[in-house]
C-alpha cells in the first residue's frame, strides 16, 4: 500500500524543482513543471502553487492589468445559469456544461468576452452555480403541541420474504444488480408499516404478507397502532396524519375513515419526502436495529415476526434494550426516554378509537357529490340523522353557485359533515359544516370549527430570488411551472442550440459495408386447445351434437388436444357446409 512521504521530503522535492527551473532555458520550463506535476500526481496549476508556497518560485511573468476584472454582460451569466438549470435532471445531474452553454449562446449572437473558467467564477460569485442554487427551498422545522397531535406513517417493502415456511433475506446484490425480477416472482412479500408520534418520537411497527401495498393492510395497521393493545403504552388517534402520497392515492376507503375520525390527513409534497423524515428515520431504526437480528435468529412465521417487533418497539420506546441508548435526541435539548415524553399526554388529548366494525363499514362507503345552489347551500342526508339537512356554504371561501363539492359524514360529531372542494388550479380545500340552526352576531354558525393555527413560510433565500429570475429568463412573462408541464420550449425558441449544426462542414467519408444479421422466425409454441373445449367449439360450429363416431375419431387422432390453427380450419369448414358434416382435417 503506498504511503504519503513526510512533509520535509515534499518541501525538498519542490525546492529541487525550483532550482532546476532557475537553470533551465525559457522553452524548457513548461516541460519541467509538467513533469514535476506528473510525478507529484497533481495538475500544472497546483504545481505552480506548491512551487510558490514551498520554494518562493514565481514564473516571472507580470499579471495582466485586467486580470479578474474583465466584464461579461450580466444577462449572459443568467442565461448560462438558466440553460444549465433546464438541463439538470431530478437527481441533480447537470447535463450542460458551461463551455457548451457558452458555445450555444455565442452561436445565438451573444457576445462572450471572458474565458470559461472566468464565467464559472462569476457564476459562483453570484451563487448561480450548482452549489449556490442548491440553497433554494430550505427545509422548515415543525413542532407538534402534544403527543397524538401529529402521527407519521410509511409502508416499505422489506428485504424479508417467506418461502415454504422459511424466512429469507434478499441479498444486496440481488436488489442492485438488475436481479429484481427474481424478487418479483415471489407471490407474497413482506411489507413493513411504521408509525411515529411526532411529539414523543414513539415508534410502532407491524409486518404484513402481501403481493403489494394495499389499503386493507393500511386500514388494519391504523386500527392496530391507534387502538389499545395489551402490553403497549401508546394508543389513540391523532389530529393530523402525514403519510406517503402513493398510499394516499390508492387508499380511498382509508381516506373516508380518516375523514370520519376528523383526522386531517396530508400526503407529503411530490419530490419532498423530507416532510415525513421522522418516520423515514424510524424505518431505518427498524431495519438496522431489529431486522439485522433476524439474520442471526430468523422468525419462521409472520406472527412470530410481529410479536418480536412489537416487543422490540416497546423496549426501544422505554429505553430498556441492553447496551443501547434509544433516548430521543433533538438539537438543543437533553436526551429523554420516548415513553417519558408520551406519558405527558392529557386525558382529553387521547382520542379512543371506535369499534373496528364501524370503521369497516365506512371503508365500503362512498363520498357523495353535491352541487351548490344559487342560494349557496347544499342538502345532505346524514347517516346518523332521520332526514336531509341544509348546510350553509356562504362562508366557505372560494365556493360559488354550480360548484361541485364532495361531502362525507363525520361519525363522531352528530350531523356534521366534511365538504371538500378542488379548485380549478388543483388546490384542495376542506370545510367541516353543521346543519343550519342559528347564527352568531357575525353570521357564522355557532358549531362551525375554528380554522387552524396557520403556517409561517421560511424566509426567502437569495437562491429563491435567483430561481425567480431564471424562470423569467427561460419563460419571460409566463408561468414557468405550467410552461414546463406543457413542454414549452424555453427562451422563446430564440436560442440556436442545434440549427447551427447544419452549417458545420464535415468531411465526406466512404460508406462501410457490413454483414446482414440473420434472424430466424419464432416457432409457434402455443399449447393445443384441450380436447373437451375443442369438442364444445366444434359442436357450436356444427349446430348439432357430435356423433359417437366423430367423437371417437377426434379423441383417437388428438388425445392431447387440437392445435388452434387446425381447430380454426375445422370450424371454418363446417360453417361453410350447407349440410353440417364433420371431417377430420389431415
Q: Kindly state the average pLDDT of the residues 15-20.
A: 86
Query: What is the per-residue pLDDT across 409-419, written as a single tens digit (0 to 9) for each?
Result: 776 566 788 89
Which of 27-41, 187-201, 334-348 ranks highest by mean pLDDT? 334-348
- Give the per-residue pLDDT at 458: 39
Whole-number Å distance between alpha carbons of 87 and 79:
12
Estimate the crossing angle of helix 26-40 against helix 7-23, to 10 degrees.
160
158-159-160 Cα angle (round to 5): 85
pLDDT at 384 over 70: no
Co-location of 336 and 372 in the same domain: no
The answer to whether residue 523 is domain-embedded is no
Q: Which of the four pLDDT bands, split at 50, 70 and 90, describes residue 381? A: confident
Whole-number Å distance between alpha carbons of 279 and 267:
13
pLDDT at 351 over 70: yes
Whole-number Å distance between alpha carbons of 431 and 48:
69
Q: What does the block give as the cell for 187?
A: 407471490
Co-location of 222 and 249 in the same domain: yes
- Give the per-residue pLDDT at 467: 81
Burial class (CB in 10 A: 0-12, 13-18, 19+), 204: buried
Cα dihedral angle (553, 555, 560, 565), rounded to 10 degrees? 50
The answer to whether residue 472 is domain-embedded is yes
**Beta-sheet pairing, 264-267 with 240-243:** parallel
The answer to whether residue 144 is domain-embedded is no
The answer to whether residue 443 is domain-embedded is no
The answer to whether residue 234 is domain-embedded is yes
Query: In sequence order, which residues have a C-beta less than 8 Å from that of residue 103 and are 6 or more positions away?
Result: none
Co-location of 33 and 123 in the same domain: no
Whole-number Å distance between alpha carbons of 49 and 300:
64
- Give the per-residue pLDDT at 424: 76
Whole-number Å distance between alpha carbons of 269 and 295:
36
Pick the last residue of a domain from 301, 320, 349: 349
- Which residue has cell 458551461? 98
Whole-number Å distance between alpha carbons of 530 and 39:
77
Q: What does the block give as the cell for 68?
A: 479578474
Q: Which of the four pLDDT bands, split at 50, 70 and 90, describes residue 13? A: confident
Query: In sequence order, which residues have a C-beta less than 8 Å from that of residue 119 and are 6 or more positions away?
Result: 72, 77, 80, 98, 102, 112
Whole-number Å distance between alpha carbons of 15 and 51:
7
The answer to whether residue 585 is domain-embedded is no
Q: With left for phi above 0 and alpha for psi between -120 and 50, is residue 277 left, alpha or beta?
A: alpha
**Beta-sheet pairing, 417-422 with 388-392:** unpaired
- Which residue has cell 366534511? 418
8 A C-beta contact, residue 294 and residue 160: yes
Co-location of 192 and 338 in the same domain: yes
- Give the per-residue pLDDT at 462: 47
Whole-number Å distance between alpha carbons of 254 and 246:
13
Domain count, the chain: 5
8 A C-beta contact, residue 233 and residue 339: yes
Q: Among 265-279, 304-318, 419-433, which is the least confidently predicted range?
A: 265-279
Co-location of 291 and 332 in the same domain: yes
- Give the per-residue pLDDT at 584: 53
Q: Among 228-237, 242-251, 269-278, which is the least confidently predicted range?
A: 269-278
pLDDT at 437 over 70: no
Q: 252: closest CA among 218, 299, 204?
A: 218
Q: With left for phi above 0 and alpha for psi between -120 and 50, is residue 450 left, alpha or beta?
A: beta
8 A C-beta contact, residue 380 and residue 369: no
Co-location of 196 and 312 in the same domain: yes
Q: Kindly state the average pLDDT of the residues 73-87.
A: 89
Whole-number Å distance between alpha carbons of 303 and 208:
9
CATH number of domain containing 291: 3.30.420.10
- Residue 193 pairs in a beta bridge with 155, 206
Co-location of 168 and 317 in the same domain: yes
pLDDT at 236 over 50: yes
Give 241's Cβ-side CA count (13 Å radius): 26
Query: What is the per-residue pLDDT across 520-567, written as a single tens digit (0 to 9) for each?
Result: 766 667 788 888 888 888 888 888 888 888 888 888 888 888 888 888
Co-location of 177 and 274 in the same domain: yes
pLDDT at 326 over 70: yes
Co-location of 14 and 99 in the same domain: no
- Give the per-residue pLDDT at 431: 87
Co-location of 311 and 424 in the same domain: no
Co-location of 215 and 340 in the same domain: yes
The answer to whether residue 445 is domain-embedded is no
Residue 559 has phi, psi (to 5 degrees) of -65, -25
Q: Between these two residues, 15 and 364, which has the higher pLDDT value?
A: 15
Q: Between these two residues, 236 and 60, which has the higher pLDDT value?
A: 236
Q: Which of the four pLDDT bands, split at 50, 70 and 90, describes residue 387? A: confident
Whole-number Å distance between alpha carbons of 466 and 126:
9
Burial class (CB in 10 A: 0-12, 13-18, 19+), 8: exposed
8 A C-beta contact, residue 256 and residue 367: yes
Helices (runs of H) and strands (runs of E) counted in the chain: 21, 12
Q: What does the block give as the cell for 522?
A: 419464432
Pick the last residue of a domain from 433, 449, 484: 433
pLDDT at 342 over 90: yes
Co-location of 206 and 157 in the same domain: yes
Provide the residue count of the chain. Answer: 586
Range of the domain at 18: 7-55
Annotate 42-98 with DSSP letters as a single string.
S-HHHHHHHHHHHH-----PPPPTTTTT----HHHHHHHHHHHHHTB-TTS-B-S-H
The DSSP output letter for 409 is E
Q: What's CA 454's distance to the chain center, in Å?
A: 27
pLDDT at 270 over 80: no
Instruction: Tell me the CA distances in angstroms from 359 to 254, 329, 356, 394, 575, one per residue in order.
Output: 9, 36, 5, 31, 58
Q: 222: closest CA among 73, 68, 356?
A: 356
The answer to whether residue 278 is domain-embedded is yes
Q: 122: closest CA among 84, 65, 86, 81?
A: 81
Amino acid at each position: 500500500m503506498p504511503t504519503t512521504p513526510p512533509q520535509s521530503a515534499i518541501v525538498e522535492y519542490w525546492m529541487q524543482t525550483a532550482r532546476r527551473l532557475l537553470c533551465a532555458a525559457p522553452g524548457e520550463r513548461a516541460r519541467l513543471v509538467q513533469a514535476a506535476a506528473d510525478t507529484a500526481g497533481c495538475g500544472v496549476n497546483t504545481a505552480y502553487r506548491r512551487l510558490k508556497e514551498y520554494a518562493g518560485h514565481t514564473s516571472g511573468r507580470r499579471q495582466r492589468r485586467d486580470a479578474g476584472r474583465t466584464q461579461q454582460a450580466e444577462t449572459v451569466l443568467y442565461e448560462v445559469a438558466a440553460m444549465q438549470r433546464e438541463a439538470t435532471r431530478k437527481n441533480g445531474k447537470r447535463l450542460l456544461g458551461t463551455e457548451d452553454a457558452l458555445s450555444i449562446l455565442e452561436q445565438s449572437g451573444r457576445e462572450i468576452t471572458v474565458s470559461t473558467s472566468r464565467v464559472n467564477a462569476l457564476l459562483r460569485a453570484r451563487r448561480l452555480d450548482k452549489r449556490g442554487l442548491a440553497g433554494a427551498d430550505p427545509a422548515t422545522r415543525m413542532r407538534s403541541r402534544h403527543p397524538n397531535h401529529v402521527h407519521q406513517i410509511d409502508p416499505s417493502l422489506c428485504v424479508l420474504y417467506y418461502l415454504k415456511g422459511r424466512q429469507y433475506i434478499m441479498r444486496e446484490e440481488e436488489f442492485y444488480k438488475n436481479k429484481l425480477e427474481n424478487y418479483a416472482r415471489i407471490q407474497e412479500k413482506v411489507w413493513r408499516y411504521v408509525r411515529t408520534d411526532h411529539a414523543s418520537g414513539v415508534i410502532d411497527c407491524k409486518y404484513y404478507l402481501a403481493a403489494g401495498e394495499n389499503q386493507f393492510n393500511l386500514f388494519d395497521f391504523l386500527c392496530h397502532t391507534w387502538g389499545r393493545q395489551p402490553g403497549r403504552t401508546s394508543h389513540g388517534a391523532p389530529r393530523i396524519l402525514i403519510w406517503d402520497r402513493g398510499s394516499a392515492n390508492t387508499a380511498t376507503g382509508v381516506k373516508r375513515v380518516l375523514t370520519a375520525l376528523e383526522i386531517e390527513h396530508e400526503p407529503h409534497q411530490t419530490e419532498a419526502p423530507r416532510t415525513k423524515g421522522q418516520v423515514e428515520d424510524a424505518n431505518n431504526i427498524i431495519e438496522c436495529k431489529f431486522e439485522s437480528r433476524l439474520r442471526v435468529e430468523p422468525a419462521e412465521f409472520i406472527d412470530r415476526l410481529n410479536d418480536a417487533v412489537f416487543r422490540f418497539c416497546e423496549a426501544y420506546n422505554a429505553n430498556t434494550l441492553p447496551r443501547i441508548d434509544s433516548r430521543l435526541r433533538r438539537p438543543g435539548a437533553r436526551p429523554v426516554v420516548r415513553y417519558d415524553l408520551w406519558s405527558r399526554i392529557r386525558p382529553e388529548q387521547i382520542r379512543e378509537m371506535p369499534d373496528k366494525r364501524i370503521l369497516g363499514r365506512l371503508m365500503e362507503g362512498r363520498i357523495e357529490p353535491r352541487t351548490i345552489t344559487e342560494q349557496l347551500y347544499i342538502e345532505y342526508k346524514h347517516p346518523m340523522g332521520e332526514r336531509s339537512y341544509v348546510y350553509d356554504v356562504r362562508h366557505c371561501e372560494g365556493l360559488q353557485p354550480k360548484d361541485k363539492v364532495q361531502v362525507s359524514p363525520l361519525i363522531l360529531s352528530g350531523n356534521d359533515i366534511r365538504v371538500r372542494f378542488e379548485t380549478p388550479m388543483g388546490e384542495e380545500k376542506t370545510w367541516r359544516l353543521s346543519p343550519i340552526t342559528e347564527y352568531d352576531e357575525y353570521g357564522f354558525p355557532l358549531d362551525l370549527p375554528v380554522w387552524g393555527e396557520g403556517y409561517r413560510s421560511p424566509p426567502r433565500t437569495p437562491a429563491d430570488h435567483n430561481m425567480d429570475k431564471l424562470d423569467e429568463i427561460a419563460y419571460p412573462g409566463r408561468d414557468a411551472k405550467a410552461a414546463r408541464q406543457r413542454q414549452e420550449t424555453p427562451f422563446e425558441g430564440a436560442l440556436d442550440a442545434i440549427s447551427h449544426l447544419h452549417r458545420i462542414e464535415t468531411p465526406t467519408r466512404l460508406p462501410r459495408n457490413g454483414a446482414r444479421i440473420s434472424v430466424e422466425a419464432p416457432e409457434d409454441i402455443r399449447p393445443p386447445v384441450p380436447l373437451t373445449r375443442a369438442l364444445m367449439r366444434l359442436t357450436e360450429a356444427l349446430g348439432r351434437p357430435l356423433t359417437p363416431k366423430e367423437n371417437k375419431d377426434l379423441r383417437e387422432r388428438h388425445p392431447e388436444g387440437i392445435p388452434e390453427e387446425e381447430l380454426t380450419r375445422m370450424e371454418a369448414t363446417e360453417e361453410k357446409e350447407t349440410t353440417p358434416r364433420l371431417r377430420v382435417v389431415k
